[in-house]
């Protein structure tokens, strides 16, 4: 009898936990939809530096959500949530619109680039195309100022993606493969698309200086990547050891991470640019 009671109580507790989690996810989804609709989201900008001389060469626009009741919600929570709710395109449109309107003058004046994350499905979107090309025309954005970072999580039609990429390149847009080394961002994707930049995921960067990443492997990888893309960017650079390592083996690469700077609010990003480039 005791075992039956314990079993029933355990089952009830599991049910309550599952229902509470489902209710939380439903509440979060509703709050995110409302925040996106009311433009209650914001952007921060993280600088990207050239390893060789430590100079800023661009900024990545990153989406942030601070809920009035729940506080700061991690992108690792709300980005998958937006994908489940079918809001990827709306999120991309929000970011591309606000990033360009907020930061493009700073980028143009200082001859640096502005990068924005997109989904592969955005490449085939008429709304996205009209918005981006409209902004490029409105602000008379120079060639190679806009960089679109593609993260491929589910595999895809590489041939179709390349056709769309080539069309955007005719308008001066550059492309990067983001988070290389995770998910579907592998060599097949990198070699199939004509990208300008490869961004090495922070999980690989964090292995620098450990036994999991041998020093003698980097020169060979460097030559291979340089034949595919113009720029190699290491994400999540946080230590002096990592910087020294990159200066030795990847001196012409680029870095992004807390060693150089956290992601900054708009005005701080502008001030940093003026201070370091003027």
Ramachandran assignment for 183, one of left (phi > 0), alpha (psi -120 to 50 degrees), beta (any other): left
Q: What would the pLDDT profile of 79-117 be if each residue is shown by its tens digit?
A: 999 999 999 999 999 999 999 999 999 999 999 999 999
User: What pLDDT is recorded for position 123?
Assistant: 94
Element (H, E) at 256: strand 254-256
Tokens of 144: 């190679």
What pTM was estimated for this model as a whole? 0.87
In terms of pLDDT, which residue wins out, 245 or 49?
Answer: 49
User: What pLDDT is recorded for position 204?
Assistant: 84
User: What pLDDT is recorded for position 225?
Assistant: 79
**Mean pLDDT across the chain:** 87
207 to 96, 99, 187, 201: CA distances (angstroms): 32, 32, 19, 11
Q: What would the pLDDT profile of 200-254 be if each residue is shown by its tens digit?
A: 989 888 888 776 655 556 666 777 777 788 899 999 999 999 999 999 888 999 9
User: What pLDDT is recorded for position 157?
Assistant: 78
Q: Which residues pair with 45 in a beta bridge?
A: 61, 264
């Amino acid at each position: 009898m005791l075992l039956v009671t314990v079993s029933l109580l355990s089952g009830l507790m599991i049910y309550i936990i599952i229902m509470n989690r489902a209710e939380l996810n439903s509440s979060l989804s509703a709050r995110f939809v409302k925040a996106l609709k009311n433009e209650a989201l914001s952007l921060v900008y993280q600088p990207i530096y050239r390893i060789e001389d430590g100079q800023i060469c661009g900024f990545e626009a990153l989406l942030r959500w601070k809920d009035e009741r729940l506080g700061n919600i991690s992108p690792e929570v709300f980005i998958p949530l937006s994908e489940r709710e079918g809001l990827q395109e709306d999120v991309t449109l929000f970011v591309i619109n606000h990033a360009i309107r907020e930061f493009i003058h700073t980028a143009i004046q200082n001859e640096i680039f502005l990068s924005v994350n997109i989904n592969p499905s955005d490449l085939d979107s008429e709304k996205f195309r009209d918005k981006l090309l409209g902004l490029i025309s409105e602000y008379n954005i120079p060639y190679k100022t806009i960089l679109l970072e593609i993260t491929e999580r589910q595999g895809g039609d590489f041939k179709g993606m390349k056709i769309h990429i080539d069309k955007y390149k005719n308008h001066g847009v550059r492309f990067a493969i983001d988070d290389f080394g995770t998910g579907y961002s592998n060599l097949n994707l990198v070699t199939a698309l004509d990208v300008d930049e490869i961004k090495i995921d922070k999980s690989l960067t964090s292995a620098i200086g450990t036994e999991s990443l041998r020093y003698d492997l980097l020169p060979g990888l460097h030559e291979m990547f340089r034949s595919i893309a113009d720029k190699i960017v290491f994400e999540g650079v946080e230590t002096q050891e990592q910087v020294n390592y990159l200066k030795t083996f990847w001196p012409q690469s680029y870095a992004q991470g807390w060693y150089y700077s956290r992601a900054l609010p708009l005005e701080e990003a502008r001030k940093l640019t003026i201070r370091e480039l003027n």
